[in-house]
Structure formats: C-alpha cells, structure tokens
Structure 1
Amino acid sequence: MIEEIWQELAKAKYLEWEDASNKRSWGLQSLKEACEQALKEQYVVDVSQMEGFTDEAENAHMEQLESLSLVFSKAAEADIPSEVPDYLCCKITLDIFRDPVIIPSGVTYERAVILDHLQKVGKFDPITREPLDEHQLVPNLAIKEAVGAFLDEHGWAYKTD
C-alpha cells in the first residue's frame, strides 16, 4: 500500500511540475520574442543613424542575438530531464530512493528491496555475503534529504513510467 501511495504522490508531483514547466516555457518564449523584437527595432534605429557603419551595427546585432539565445537556453535547462545521479538511486532497482536504508557494509538500498532480498534470497548482505538481519537496517537520512532536495529542483524525476 505504501508503494501505491508513493506512486500516486509521484504522479501528482510530476503533473504539478509539468504544468509549471509548461507555463515557464511559454513565459520564456514570449519574453525571448519580445527581446528579439526590441533588438530588431534597436538595430533599425542604429543602422539609420550610423551611415557607412552598417557592418558594425550588423555584427553588434548578431552578437546580441547570440547572447540572448544563450541566456534563454540556460534558463530553460532546469526543465530538461537528464539522468538522476547514481548516489540517489538504489543499487538493485536503479530507481531513485524513496526510503533509503544503510546496511553495516556501508551500502544504501531501498528499504522494501533489501527487505525483499532478506525474505526471499536469504539473510545476508547482497555484496559481502555477511549475515544481515532486518534490525541492522538504519535509515539513511542524508540520502533521503539529498533526494528531497534533488526532487525539489528537478520535478521531472518524479516520472515513474
């Protein structure tokens, strides 16, 4: 049941991010078009005032357009999905952590996954093969906090499909 709740929460968070991302994209695109129009109008004024220096005005205009494009592409980067860092993912499922626990060997796993391993495969560490019991699992609060911070900044990572 916890997994189902997390899935629904993740779906809702992703849809919320997607809506906000679309609004940001439209806003950025509108602002970019307005800036390009203002630069074009400024270029026309500059060319009319700089008789014989049209190459300079043309070069300056092109540099401004390139800079503008760079600024807007940087602003849009936060909404472009990329890879989730490995340290925020379970070594077994490769999914982003929800409830990370650390075991005595120092490796962090998703709680449900390591509990499933202990129940179905055996009561041993998957890497070292040392005996491992459920009471030895310790919540990894640092990773949990890092995952939360990452998800706050990268809402696209909530997508579970």
Structure 2
Amino acid sequence: MPPVPSSVAKQAELLKQDGNTFFKKDRLGAAIDAYTEAITLCPNVPVYWTNRALCHRKRNDWDRVEADCRRALELDASSVKAHYMLGLALLQRQEYAEGIKALEKALDLGRGANPASYMVEEIWQELAKAKYSEWEHLSHARIERLDVLREACVKALGSQRMHGVSRVIGLSNEAEGDPEQLKHLSEVFRKAAEADIPSEVPDHLCCKITLDIFRDPVITPSGITYERAVLLGHLQKVGKFDPVTREPLNQHQLVPNLAIKEAVRAYLDEHGWAYKLN
C-alpha cells in the first residue's frame, strides 16, 4: 500500500482526537464515527482500531471488540490493549483457554512496557477472575461426573450384595451396600473432590505489604521480596528505604524474583486459581 499523504495522516489524527474527546464525554456513537473516519483515511494505524474497540467494549458489543482487536493485532502484534480486549471478548463466549491466553500475553507485554502501569494491575485482576471462572466451570463439570460415578458405584455394591436376594421394598441404594465398603468408597470420592475445594495461598507467595499473592515480585538487597508496584510507590512517596529492614534502598537495586514468580505460577496452575481476589 502506498504511503499515506501527510495531510491525510494529519486529518486522521485530528479525527482520533475528536474521538477521544467524544469518548471522555461518553458520546460513544460520535466517538465510533470519528474513529471509523480515521480508519478509512489511515487503515494501518492500530491505535484507531483499539480506540474504536474500547467504545464497543463500553457498549458490550463484544463481536465488534473482537473484530477490531484482531485487526489491530495484525498491524501490531505487541499491542497490550488489543490482546487485553480480545481476551475479554473471548471470555464473554466462555472461550476460557483462548481468552486467558490473550490476557496472559497482554500481561507479559504490559509488564515489559511499564510495570507500574495501572493497566497491568487491571489486566492481572481480569486474568485472575478468568482463571477462577475457568476453574469453577471445570470444577462443576468434574463434580457432576463424580456424582454420577459415585451413584453407579453405590448401585454396583448394592447389586453385588443383593445378588440372589429379594430386594426389600423402600430400601435405599446406599443401605443395600456393605457399610465398610461404602465407607471406603465415600473416602475415595472425598479425596477425589479435594482438588475442587478453594485453598488458601501460602504466606511465602504473598507480599508482606499487601498480603495478597504476588503479581510481579522483586527482591531487595536485604533478601525480602515485595510486589514491585507497591514497593515503587513506597520508595516514591514514603522514602528510599526498605519497608521492613529500614535499610537504604533505591529502585535500581530491585531485581525480579523469578523463583517466586515461577512458584506463584505453578501454585496457581496446580490449584486452578481456586480463590477470589478482594
């Protein structure tokens, strides 16, 4: 495609600015029209597509959100906003695996671009909710399958015991089985269901300041790990010292704690993120 004349590009930018103004005033229809005109003039500028997608998001028009974000990603595969909103759109259709994948991509890109950005925290919160929803959805399906299997096992035990014996009218299936066998069966299914019970996050995977699970852990020279954004806020607003040891501390001394980050990821994957954030 030939380069866009500078006058056309300038007009498209003015239309984008108009769209931004309309969006801030919650005039979504006018904002969409402005971004659409900008796209018509300069279809290869990804921010026009993501801006319009944001308008569609506020209208809960998720099909259009998805379409605009996919086009933006064709133009710029590193667009945090496009991956983020695409993930949200996919989750609306309960396409958990692909939606979570898009949110994880947005989170990784966002952390690299600006770790302290408010958007990183927002993406992380949405990712946590998505993981929980996925776990809850799969958990319900597993519980239903376990219930069906348990009933079949109880009936099988009852049939074995009553083989050749007339059934007593009104006797329940559980009463027909051998009490000791039923006790063992109940224990087996109780153990099988444990994975679907929400669990507490271990203390060593939580920030000492927020008491919440780590998103982006960093370690200080004193050996203490904190949540990056929270510690940066402390250094900027309170003072340049370690909140726990009170030793002098500067931002350049912080090192990503990859071991804790991987431990958090492993824990959440194993437990299905089976907890809800405050």
Would you say same fold, with TM above 0.5?
Answer: yes
Q: Which residue of 2 aligns with 1:160?
A: 277
- Structure number with larger C-alpha Rg: 2
Q: CA deviation at 1:83?
A: 1.2
TM-score by length of 2: 0.52
Query: Do residues 5 (structure 1) and 123 (structure 2) align?
Result: yes
Question: Helix, strand or coil for the counterpart of 1:45?
Answer: coil
Q: Which residue of 2 aligns with 1:146?
A: 263
The CA distance in 1 between the partners of 2:196 and 2:273, in whole Å, is: 7
Please, what is the CA RMSD of the aligned residues?
1.5
Runs of 4+ in 1 over 3 A off after TM superposition: none
TM-score by length of 1: 0.88
How do 1:58-73 and structure 2 match up within 5 A? 61-73=178-190
Contact 1:79–1:156 under 8 Å retained in 2 = no
The CA distance in 2 between the partners of 1:89 and 1:79, in whole Å, is: 22
Aligned pair count reads 150
The CA distance in 1 between the partners of 2:161 and 2:211, in whole Å, is: 52
How do 1:21-60 and structure 2 match up within 5 A? 21-45=139-163, 48=165
For structure 1, which runs of at least 5 residues remain unmatched after alignment? 49-57
2:244 aligned to which of 121, 127, 143:
127
Q: CA deviation at 1:127?
A: 1.4
For structure 2, which runs of at least 5 residues remain unmatched after alignment? 1-118, 166-174
- Bigger RCO (CA 8 Å, 6+ sep): 1
2:191 aligned to which of 47, 70, 74:
74
Query: Do residues 16 (structure 1) and 134 (structure 2) align?
Result: yes
**Residue type matched to 2:268 in 1?**
L
The CA distance in 2 between the partners of 1:13 and 1:38, in whole Å, is: 37
Question: Helix, strand or coil for the counterpart of 1:101?
Answer: strand
Contact 1:11–1:158 under 8 Å retained in 2 = no
Q: CA deviation at 1:156?
A: 3.9
Query: Do residues 116 (structure 1) and 230 (structure 2) align?
Result: no
**Residue type matched to 1:3 in 2?**
E
Deviations 1:118-160 (A, max 9, x none): 1111000111111100011111111111100110011244521
Question: Helix, strand or coil for the counterpart of 2:146?
Answer: helix
The CA distance in 2 between the partners of 1:97 and 1:131, in whole Å, is: 23
Percent identical across equivalent pairs?
Answer: 73
